[in-house]
A and B are shown apart, each in its own frame.
Chain A
Amino acid sequence: MAKRLAVLDADRCVGCQMCMFACNRRFSSGGYSKSAIHVRSVGGVEKGFTVVVCRACEDPPCVKTCPTDALRKRVGGGVLLDPSKCIGCGRCIDACVIGAVFWDEEKNKPIICVHCGYCTRYCPYNVIGLEEV
Chain B
Amino acid sequence: MWNVLYIDLSRRDFWVEDRSDLFDRWLGGIGVAVQLFKEEVKPNIDPLSPDNVIVFAVGPLTCLYPMASKTVAVFKSPLTGNLGESHAGGRSAVAIRMAGYGAIVIKGVSDMPIYLTIGDGAVRFRDASTLWGIRSTVTVGRILREKEGGKGLRTIMRIGRAGENLVRYACVVTETYRHFGRLGLGAVFGSKKLKAIVIYGRSSIAVKDPRLYRKIYDEIYDLAVKSELMKKYHDIGTSMNVSTLNAIKGLPTMNLRYSSFDKAEYISGEYLAENRLGRRVACSHCPVACIHLAALRETYEKEPYFYKTTYVSYDYEPIYALGSMLGISDTDGMLKLLDLVEIYGLDAMSTGVALAWATEAYERGLITVNDTLVELRWGYVEGYMQAVRYLVDQVNQFYRDLGLGVDYTARIYGGGDYALAFGGNEMPGYSTGVGAYLTYLTGARHSHLDSAGYSLDEKLLGREYPPPEQLVDRLVEEEAWRQVLSSLVVCFFARGIYTADRIAEALKALGVEYSRDTLVDLGFKIYEEKYKVKLDLGFKFDSLRIPKRILETEAGGRSVNESYLKTALRYFEAKVKGMLART
Using a CB–CB cutoff of 8 Å, the interface residues on chain A facing chain B are 14-18, 21, 24-25, 28-34, 38-41, 43-46, 48, 105-106, 122, 124-125
* A-contacting 9-mer, from B201-209, B437-445, B458-466, B522-530: B201-209
Could you tell me the distance between the alpha carbons of A87 and B94 in the complex, rounded to whole angstroms? 31
Q: Which residues of B contact A25 (CB under 8 A)?
A: 213-214, 217
Contact yes or no, A15 B225, CB < 8 A: no
Contact yes or no, B287 A124, CB < 8 A: yes
Contact yes or no, A122 B287, CB < 8 A: yes
The smallest beta-carbon distance between A25 and chain B, in angstroms, is: 6
- Ranked nearest first, the 3 interchain pairs of A and B with the lowest CB-CB distance are A40-B152, A16-B282, A30-B205
Which chain A residue shows the least CB distance to B64?
Answer: A30
Does B71 have its Cβ within 8 Å of any Cβ on chain A? no
Q: Which residues of A contact B203 (CB under 8 A)?
A: 31, 33
Does B273 have its Cβ within 8 Å of any Cβ on chain A? no
Could you tell me the distance between the alpha carbons of A18 and B98 in the complex, rounded to whole angstroms? 15
Q: Which residues of B contact A41 (CB under 8 A)?
A: 152
Does B151 have its Cβ within 8 Å of any Cβ on chain A? yes
Contact yes or no, A14 B145, CB < 8 A: no
Contact yes or no, B175 A45, CB < 8 A: yes
Does B263 have its Cβ within 8 Å of any Cβ on chain A? no
- Name 8 interchain pairs, CB-CB below 8 A, sorted by A: A14-B282, A14-B289, A15-B284, A16-B283, A31-B63, A31-B205, A45-B175, A105-B202
Q: Which residues of B contact A18 (CB under 8 A)?
A: 66, 221, 285, 287
Could you tell me the distance between the alpha carbons of A43 and B144 in the complex, rounded to whole angstroms? 11
Contact yes or no, A16 B145, CB < 8 A: no
Does B539 have its Cβ within 8 Å of any Cβ on chain A? no
Contact yes or no, B287 A16, CB < 8 A: yes
Does B101 have its Cβ within 8 Å of any Cβ on chain A? no
Does B136 have its Cβ within 8 Å of any Cβ on chain A? no
Could you tell me the distance between the alpha carbons of A14 and B280 in the complex, rounded to whole angstroms? 6
- B: interface residue count bin: 35 or more
Give chain A's interface secondary structure class.
loop
Q: Which residues of B contact A40 (CB under 8 A)?
A: 151-153
Does B293 have its Cβ within 8 Å of any Cβ on chain A? yes
Encode B273-290 as 1/0 by CB contact (under 8 A) with A: 000000111111111110
Which chain B residue shows the least CB distance to A24?
Answer: B204
Tell which of B175, B213, B221 touches A28, judged by Cβ atoms closer than 8 Å.
Answer: B213
The smallest beta-carbon distance between A26 and chain B, in angstroms, is: 10
Q: Which residues of A contact B287 (CB under 8 A)?
A: 16, 18, 122, 124
The smallest beta-carbon distance between A104 and chain B, in angstroms, is: 9
Are A29 and B279 CB-contacts (below 8 A) given A17-B284, A122-B221? no
Are A46 and B279 CB-contacts (below 8 A) given A16-B285, A17-B285, A18-B66? yes
The smallest beta-carbon distance between A48 and chain B, in angstroms, is: 7
The smallest beta-carbon distance between A79 and chain B, in angstroms, is: 22
**Which residues of chain B in 97-146 are interfacial with respect to chain A, using CB atoms and an 8 Å cutoff?**
97-98, 138, 141-142, 145
Which chain A residue shows the least CB distance to B68?
Answer: A30
Which chain B residue shows the least CB distance to A102?
Answer: B202
Does B311 have its Cβ within 8 Å of any Cβ on chain A? yes
Does B399 have its Cβ within 8 Å of any Cβ on chain A? no
Contact yes or no, B207 A29, CB < 8 A: yes
Contact yes or no, B204 A30, CB < 8 A: yes
Contact yes or no, B63 A30, CB < 8 A: yes
Which chain B residue shows the least CB distance to A16?
Answer: B282
Contact yes or no, B145 A44, CB < 8 A: yes
Encode B178-215 as 1/0 by CB contact (under 8 A) with A: 00000000000000000000000011111100100110
Q: Which residues of B contact A21 (CB under 8 A)?
A: 63, 66, 285
Does B344 have its Cβ within 8 Å of any Cβ on chain A? no
Contact yes or no, B152 A39, CB < 8 A: yes
Could you tell me the distance between the alpha carbons of A39 and B153 in the complex, rounded to whole angstroms? 9
Are A16 and B63 CB-contacts (below 8 A) given A29-B207, A44-B176, A46-B279? no
Are A45 and B205 CB-contacts (below 8 A) given A15-B282, A18-B66? no
Q: Which residues of A contact B206 (CB under 8 A)?
A: 28-30
Q: Which residues of B contact A46 (CB under 8 A)?
A: 176-177, 279, 293, 311
Contact yes or no, A33 B289, CB < 8 A: no
Contact yes or no, A124 B142, CB < 8 A: no
The smallest beta-carbon distance between A17 and chain B, in angstroms, is: 5
Tell which of A16, A39, A43, A44 touches B286, judged by Cβ atoms closer than 8 Å.
Answer: A16
Are A33 and B279 CB-contacts (below 8 A) given A25-B217, A44-B176? no
Could you tell me the distance between the alpha carbons of A105 and B200 in the complex, rounded to whole angstroms? 15
Which chain A residue shows the least CB distance to B98?
Answer: A31
Which chain B residue shows the least CB distance to A34?
Answer: B204
Tell which of B98, B213, B221, B281 touches A45, judged by Cβ atoms closer than 8 Å.
Answer: B281
Which chain B residue shows the least CB distance to A39?
Answer: B152
Tell which of B141, B204, B210, B279 touches A48, judged by Cβ atoms closer than 8 Å.
Answer: B279
Contact yes or no, B142 A29, CB < 8 A: no
Given contacts A32-B94, A41-B152, A44-B145, 10 further A-B contacts (CB under 8 A): A14-B282, A16-B287, A28-B207, A29-B205, A30-B204, A30-B206, A32-B202, A39-B152, A40-B151, A45-B176
Q: Which residues of A contact B176 (CB under 8 A)?
A: 44-46
Which chain A residue shows the least CB distance to B284?
Answer: A17
Could you tell me the distance between the alpha carbons of A39 and B64 in the complex, rounded to whole angstroms? 18
Could you tell me the distance between the alpha carbons of A25 and B311 in the complex, rounded to whole angstroms? 34
Could you tell me the distance between the alpha carbons of A30 and B202 in the complex, rounded to whole angstroms? 11
Contact yes or no, B207 A30, CB < 8 A: yes
Contact yes or no, A32 B153, CB < 8 A: yes
Contact yes or no, A43 B145, CB < 8 A: yes
Contact yes or no, B284 A16, CB < 8 A: yes
Contact yes or no, A28 B152, CB < 8 A: no
Which chain B residue shows the least CB distance to A21?
Answer: B285
The smallest beta-carbon distance between A110 and chain B, in angstroms, is: 14
Could you tell me the distance between the alpha carbons of A34 and B98 in the complex, rounded to whole angstroms? 12
The smallest beta-carbon distance between A69 and chain B, in angstroms, is: 28
Which chain B residue shows the least CB distance to A122?
Answer: B221
